[in-house]
Structure 1
Amino acid sequence: MTTPVNQALANPITEDDIANYLANTPDFFQRHAELLATVQFTSPHSHRTVSLQERQAEMLREKIKLLEQRIMEMIRNGNENVMLSDKILRWARTLFLTTNLADLPTEIVQEIKDQFAVPQVGLRLWGVADEFSGLGCVQGVSDDAKVFASSLTEPFCGLNTGFEAVSWLEEAHNVSSLALIPLRSGPAGSAAPAFGMLVLASSDAQRFNSGMGTEFLARIGELASAALSRLR
């Protein structure tokens, strides 16, 4: 016959059993309040023994510090978004004020460099009206590049692996990462064939990395497309 002692030895109480009991018996410490005063922990900061109340205070301070960091990050991101919006508005204003359509491609390239601190910017267009066929941005675009631009449903960001668009830049040898932005009629992501492509490039391999968001670049593409569609 199995005795209670043998049963206890065969099925010892585990830490989980104790934790479950305390979780399901919230009035335990009300009946044994004196235990709270004897509970001690080792502080992860000072490595000294502290009371339950001190450890709870430390944990609360850690949570407050984490929340403060998150709030500061939100404020910083908000400020960056405001600054970015201002730059886009200034750039859009320049496009509206450009009355000579033949100057638009040059203005777009230069303003992207100035407003958004992009080291190198290139632009190519195709299918433009005859009066603009002599512009430099219309020259030297292969059929493969046109097909590739039309295949992009969103801006591409990544390392320079030998894209033709890199040859449109003044310092093609100094490109480590780039963003390729298709230009097309309609909103970003539409299925309309592209009539051009912007290339933004940097010698910094992380400037246009494959993990970055492309929403801002898509807005750049939409504004540039709207302005340059007047050349068609």
Structure 2
Amino acid sequence: MTEASIPPITEDDIANYLANTPDFFERHASLLAAVQLTSPHGQRAVSLQERQAEMLREKIKGLEMKAADMIRHGHENTAIADRLQRWTLQLLNTREAAELPEVVADGVAAHFGVPQAVVKVWGVAPGFAALPCAQGASADAPAFATSLSKPYCGANRGLEAATWLADPAAAASLALIPLRAGDGPQAFGLLVLASPDVHRFAADMGTDFLERIGELTAAALTRLRP
């Protein structure tokens, strides 16, 4: 093989050699002190050891930020769980079934910072037919609620459910949570949450927590059914 046909040494060749020859710098210790790198914090030259120390500090800082985020999320989740428990206890401690729709709506608004909340149900027992929550929904409302496989979140586009609120004009975004008895497909009501903030209930937000709220609400309001 002629000298001209020998492929040039690439940076990858050098990197592979150093990675596979850990004793190289033991045999050439003086080279470590001579290597100069550019610091990411300005254009000054730093030694290899100093650059490694900077990289380690940056890595530690990143880990500290991740740990702080985990702690913050943990505190937030604990606070949400506490509020959910207090609201659930309110439902369990409500003796009069007729009071439950108001307890649900007022509790959601108070504990979870929702500006407006209202409940509508249909197919209730005769003794509850005169309740505000059992009136005002159109004949199309049951079919619409049943069609929701999960809570609807998004802008208020003139949906009927917004008209059930105390102040429909202040409902820029909505969360419509279907209420079902057990695992049945038919919905017997809707829990409507509203906010003047158009981003509060965004179409791309997660709905797991809203589904839990809906399950608890539905379980409580089954007392209104025949």
TM bucket by the smaller chain?
over 0.9
Shift of 1:33: 2.1
* 1:151-175 superposed Cα distances (whole Å, 9 cap, x missing partner): 2222222222232211111221222
**Alpha-carbon distance in 2 for matches of 1:160, 1:138:** 22
Q: 1:209 aligns with which of 202, 208, 220?
A: 202
Alignment correspondent of 2:61: 65
Alignment correspondent of 1:110: 106
- Aligned pairs (5 A) from 1:120-199: 120-186=116-182, 190-199=183-192
Shift of 1:225: 0.6
Q: Structure 1 residue runs of 4+, over 3 Å off?
A: none
Amino acid at match of 1:141: A
Q: CA RMSD in A?
A: 1.6
Q: 1:45 aligns with which of 25, 41, 46?
A: 41
- Aligned pairs (5 A) from 1:72-91: 72-91=68-87
**Alpha-carbon distance in 1 for matches of 2:30, 2:181:** 75
Q: Is the 8 A contact 1:125 1:196 kept in 2?
A: yes
Shift of 1:52: 0.7
**Alpha-carbon distance in 2 for matches of 1:166, 1:200:** 9
Q: 1:22 aligns with which of 14, 18, 23?
A: 18
Shift of 1:191: 4.5
Shift of 1:43: 1.1
Amino acid at match of 1:127: G
Shift of 1:128: 0.5
Q: Is the 8 A contact 1:158 1:208 kept in 2?
A: yes
Shift of 1:182: 0.8
Aligned length: 225
Q: Percent identity?
A: 57
Q: Is the 8 A contact 1:153 1:191 kept in 2?
A: no
* 1:59-79 superposed Cα distances (whole Å, 9 cap, x missing partner): 111111111111111111111
Amino acid at match of 2:5: Q
Flag structure 2 segments of 5+ consecutive residues without an equivalent. Answer: none
Alignment correspondent of 1:218: 211
**Alpha-carbon distance in 2 for matches of 1:51, 1:166:** 66
Q: 1:56 aligns with which of 41, 52, 64?
A: 52
Alignment correspondent of 1:3: 2
Amino acid at match of 1:7: S
Amino acid at match of 2:205: M
**Alpha-carbon distance in 2 for matches of 1:197, 1:128:** 13
Amino acid at match of 2:39: S
Q: 1:54 to 1:98 in 2, by over 3 A?
A: same
Classify the secondary structure of the residue corresponding to 2:194: strand
**Alpha-carbon distance in 1 for matches of 2:5, 2:184:** 73
**Alpha-carbon distance in 2 for matches of 1:59, 1:72:** 20
TM-score by length of 1: 0.91
Amino acid at match of 2:31: L
**Alpha-carbon distance in 1 for matches of 2:61, 2:139:** 56
